[in-house]
Amino acid sequence: MHYGDLSDSEQISNILYNIMPQEVYHLGAQSHVMVSFSMPEYTANVSGIGTARILEAIRRSGNHTKFYQASSSEMFGRTPSPQNEESPFSPTSPYAVAKVYAYWMTKNYRLGYNLFACNGILFNHESPRRGEIFVTRKITMAVANILAKKQQFLYLGTLEPKRDWGFAPEYVEVMYQILQQEKADDFVVGTGQQHSVLDFVEKAFSYVNLRWQDYVKCDEKYLRPTETNDLAADSSKIKKIIRWTPKVQFDDLVKIMVDADMRKAGLQPIGEGDEFLRKHFPNRWWKTD
| Catalytic residue list | 72, 74, 95
- Per rule CB under 6 A, is residue 174 in the interface with ligand GDD? no
Q: Cα separation of 148 and 132, whole Å?
A: 17
Q: Which is nearer to ligand GDD, 57 or 166 (CB)?
A: 166
How far is CA 185 from each of CA 67, 215, 217, rounded to the nearest angstrom? 11, 45, 43
Neighbours of 240 (CB within 10 A): 9
How far is CA 52 from each of CA 129, 165, 186, rounded to the nearest angstrom? 28, 28, 17
Q: Cα separation of 164 and 23, whole Å?
A: 28
**Residues 24-43: x/- map of binding to ligand GDD (CB under 6 A)?**
-------x-xx---------
CB 219 → ligand GDD: shortest distance, Å? 7
Residue type, 199: D
- Per rule CB under 6 A, is residue 127 in the interface with ligand GDD? no
* Binding segment (CB under 6 A) for ligand GDD, from list 37-45, 102-110, 132-140, 280-288: 132-140
- Per rule CB under 6 A, is residue 215 in the interface with ligand GDD? no
Which one among 106, 124, 127, 145 touches ligand GDD, defined by CB under 6 A?
124
- Per rule CB under 6 A, is residue 161 in the interface with ligand GDD? yes
Which one among 227, 272, 275, 289 touches ligand GDD, defined by CB under 6 A?
227
DSSP 25: E
Q: Which is nearer to ligand GDD, 214 or 220 (CB)?
A: 220
Give CA angle at 55 (86, 77), nearest 5°. Answer: 35
CB 143 → ligand GDD: shortest distance, Å? 14
Which one among 21, 28, 157, 169 touches ligand GDD, defined by CB under 6 A?
157
- Per rule CB under 6 A, is residue 74 in the interface with ligand GDD? yes
Q: Which is nearer to ligand GDD, 72 or 235 (CB)?
A: 72
Say whether 219 sits in a helix, a strand or coil.
coil
Q: Which is nearer to ligand GDD, 65 or 74 (CB)?
A: 74
CB 169 → ligand GDD: shortest distance, Å? 15
Name the residue among 46, 49, 38 with its Cα closest to residue 5. Answer: 46
Residue type, 190: G
- Per rule CB under 6 A, is residue 20 in the interface with ligand GDD? no
- 3-state helix, strand, coil split of the chain in percent (to 5) is 50, 15, 40
Burial 30-68 (b: 16+ CB within 10 A, else e): bbbbbbbeeebeebbbbbbbbbbbbbbbbbebeeebbbb
- Per rule CB under 6 A, is residue 81 in the interface with ligand GDD? no
Q: Cα separation of 274 and 259, whole Å?
A: 7
- Per rule CB under 6 A, is residue 224 in the interface with ligand GDD? yes
Binding positions for ligand GDD, rule: CB under 6 A: 31, 33-34, 72-74, 123-124, 133-136, 138, 156-158, 161, 163, 197, 222, 224, 227
